[in-house]
Chain A
Amino acid sequence: MQNGEGIRVSTTAVSGGSITVNVGPTDDVVEIGVLGGTATTTHHVPGDKDTLIPVPSAEAGSLLVVMVGKGKRKRRIVVTIVAPTP
């Protein structure tokens, strides 16, 4: 796990799978996007401490950016996308 600044997530995520993001509900939105692309998706943070987010299908080795907050409150963590187990 990698953590800090009120956000925690695993270091890798399976392409097409899902990933759990730990963040407090003060920030009620988690935004993710694959680095280099233009698409981001936003996800509501539930009250039960864990946010389960679908991981886009992307090539292994791509980097998924997990973002919380806006402006100077923004924090980001980069996760490496790995191929699904055959």
Chain B
Amino acid sequence: MPNVRTALAIASLGIAIAAPAQNYLVAPSSYATNDAPAYGWVPGASRSLRQQTLMGASHLTPMLGTAIVAIELRRNMVDEVYQGGTAHLDVTMSIAPHEPIECSNVFANNTGTLPIQVFSGDVTFPTSPSPGNNPVPWTTNNIVRIPLTTPYPYGGGTLCIDIVGTPIAGQEANWWMADLELEDIAGTTNDLGGGCGLYGGVDHEWSYVSRRSLVPGAHARFSANGTPLGLALACFGTTAPSSIPLSLILPAAPGCDLWLGTLDEIVPTIFWPPAEPADLPFGGEAEISFHLPNTSSLFGASLTTQWVDWSQMATSNAIEWTVASAMPTADVAVLDGDPTEATGLVSVYLAHVMRFEYQ
């Protein structure tokens, strides 16, 4: 008959066998102990937000064949206290049908065929003391931890972490910014002028091109302000050697100058009135985007975009834009949007730094 000491030894061995080893993986691993270059908001901290993170398989190899049991986000390193709060999160995980660089602006297109809801509940944003200018450790006061109620088996591929966050009234963590990897590459733009009409101030600069979106694999974004509910035409073509007055071809006012040498594409849309009525004098808002293929053949490709506000028969400032001569290699992406909408804003060059606990 075993004595008490032997029995205890056997019992503790049983406990050791029953409790699987806990392992951690930080992705991207280069930020396991270092601060990442940027910060980003977290769904539900202060606003309803849906955020899909695509984490490439290259970051996740050590977790192959294991089960993910928790996800953690670490605060950004900055010399200030972060006030805490609570948010409600719904988290679904799946294996995306493509690599992060192919991230779609449609949430459903990034979701795999077997999505699993791994968590639904309230999550604490801890009040986090200032770390000074020192790296932030993954300790309780510095992390938002999402303990998965259903462990997620990872068998390889691009992990899609789909988080819908809802703030809880009175418990918002208004400035709790999580560490964010950013691969800072961008295209270039050159404002050619030629704008006229009511908007954009004295220089009539009422159109804009997002430089960071001018990257192969990204969704290039173009925006403009114009007559609320009026027809907006985004015109694409090559740059003309010199401008020509719009009045030569359309009944337009003096000062409206076309900078398009060719007219390769016209994309119609509407200048939607701003949600805040006080912003109406700035004009309605039009935005279009399209996917730039993930190919080096686009390096340095250039076009010019000029908008027409049809209601005023006015031209925007023309912008000559050039695609970056580099491709994102971070193997991450984020689709960020309103939970009530089917589409969102794609970034194929950034993502929250995440620590996975797995067994």
Residues of chain A at the chain B interface (Cβ within 8 Å)? 3-6, 8, 24-29, 31, 33, 35-42, 44-49, 65, 67, 69-76
Is A26 a contact of B336 with CB atoms below 8 Å?
yes
Collect the chain A residues with CB atoms within 8 Å of residue B119's CB: none
Collect the chain A residues with CB atoms within 8 Å of residue B200's CB: 38-40
Is A65 a contact of B38 with CB atoms below 8 Å?
no
Task: Tell me if B102 is interfacial: C-beta within 8 Å of chain A.
Answer: no
Collect the chain A residues with CB atoms within 8 Å of residue B338's CB: 71-73
Chain A proximity of B261: nearest CB distance (Å): 25
Is A38 a contact of B341 with CB atoms below 8 Å?
no
Complex interface residues of chain B between 174 and 215 (CB less than 8 A to chain A): 174-175, 177, 180, 182, 184, 186, 198-202, 205-206, 208, 210-213
Given A26-B347, A46-B184, 7 extra CB contacts under 8 A? A24-B41, A25-B184, A26-B40, A26-B336, A38-B199, A47-B37, A47-B38
Task: Report the Cα distance A76→B225, complex, angstroms.
Answer: 16
Chain A proximity of B318: nearest CB distance (Å): 15
Collect the chain A residues with CB atoms within 8 Å of residue B341's CB: 71-72
Task: Report the Cα distance A80→B2, complex, angstroms.
Answer: 80
Q: Which one of B174, B199, B211, B285 contacts A4 once the chains associate, using CB atoms below 8 Å?
A: B174
List 6 contacting pairs A-B, 8 Å CB cutoff, sorted by A: A6-B41, A6-B47, A26-B180, A26-B334, A26-B350, A37-B281
Collect the chain A residues with CB atoms within 8 Å of residue B264's CB: none
Task: Tell me if B272 is interfacial: C-beta within 8 Å of chain A.
Answer: yes
Mark contacts of B304-339 with chain A using CB atoms, 8 A cut-off: 1 yes-contact digit, 0 otherwise.
000000000000000000000000000000101110
Task: Tell me if B172 is interfacial: C-beta within 8 Å of chain A.
Answer: yes
Q: Which one of B37, B202, B350 contacts A39 once the chains associate, using CB atoms below 8 Å?
A: B202
Task: Tell me if B108 is interfacial: C-beta within 8 Å of chain A.
Answer: no
Collect the chain A residues with CB atoms within 8 Å of residue B272's CB: 71
Chain A proximity of B317: nearest CB distance (Å): 11
Task: Report the Cα distance A22→B46, complex, angstroms.
Answer: 15
Mark contacts of B153-190 with chain A using CB atoms, 8 A cut-off: 1 yes-contact digit, 0 otherwise.
00000000000000000001011010010101010000
| B interface residue count range (under 10 / 10 to 19 / 20 to 34 / 35 or more) | 35 or more
**Interface of A, helix, strand, loop or mixed by DSSP:** loop
Residues of chain B at the chain A interface (Cβ within 8 Å)? 37-41, 46-47, 76, 78, 172, 174-175, 177, 180, 182, 184, 186, 198-202, 205-206, 208, 210-213, 223, 225, 272, 274-276, 278-279, 281-283, 285, 287, 334, 336-338, 340-341, 344-345, 347, 350
Collect the chain B residues with CB atoms within 8 Å of residue A38's CB: 198-201, 281-283
Chain B proximity of A4: nearest CB distance (Å): 4
Q: Which one of A3, A25, A39, A73 contacts B174 once the chains associate, using CB atoms below 8 Å?
A: A3
Q: Which one of A41, A45, A74 contacts B275 once the chains associate, using CB atoms below 8 Å?
A: A74
Residue of B200, B206, B282 most packed against chain A (CB within 10 A): B282
Is B225 a contact of A40 with CB atoms below 8 Å?
yes
Which of chain A's residues has its CB closest to B340's CB? A72
Is A24 a contact of B279 with CB atoms below 8 Å?
no
Collect the chain B residues with CB atoms within 8 Å of residue A39's CB: 199-202, 282
Task: Report the Cα distance A49→B345, complex, angstroms.
Answer: 19
